[in-house]
Amino acid sequence: MQPRLDVLTLGVPDLDAARRFYVDGLGWEPLLEVPGEIVFVQVGHGRLLALWRADALETDIFGDAARGGHPPPGAGVSLGHNVDSEDEVRRVVERAAAAGATVLKPPQRATEFGGYHGYFADPAGFRWDVVHNPGFSVDGDGRVRLGAGDG
């Protein structure tokens, strides 16, 4: 598993409020947005910040299962780690599990964007989203291109 962080997703309880702050307030221009769902902003060479409805993020990780209990550190965020194939998603999640991670969502087709992914939590509870997303590419100058997804 290569050390890389490609997308930091913030699960926001109020997407309109988050958009008003980052887009209207700070003047950060969305790279792509789906109104009422998600806003992507490029925040460096080959990296994105995603503002996503918190309930959608939690459902993406845990399905409809109730979570209960106190949220662990890192609740509300996920760290996106891109790889080049579905097979590599499986290998990375296995490697992480062997190293002591908890698999939260076994590798599977990602209904949200038409790729393939799985989630694991590190020992402190921080959630990594291991993703093969054919719609995500980075130009030589670091600019991210994000397909609208075919899923």
Q: Which residues bind a second copy (CB under 8 A)?
A: 1, 3-6, 8, 10-14, 17-18, 20-22, 24-29, 41-47, 49, 54, 70-77, 79, 95-96, 98-101, 122-126, 142
- The set of long-range contacts for 53-61, using a CB threshold of 8 Å and a minimum separation of 24, is 53/11, 53/12, 53/15, 54/11, 54/12, 54/13, 55/11, 56/11, 56/112, 57/9, 57/11, 58/11, 60/105, 60/112, 61/104, 61/105, 61/119, 61/127
By beta-carbon proximity to a second copy, the closer residue of 2 and 150 is 2
Beta carbon nearer to a second copy, 33 or 114: 33
8 A C-beta contact, residue 33 and residue 40: yes
Closest distance to a second copy from the beta carbon of 47 (Å): 6
Nearer to a second copy, 12 or 110 (CB): 12
Q: Least distance in Å: CB of 1 to a second copy?
A: 5
At closest approach, how far in Å is the CB of 71 from a second copy? 7
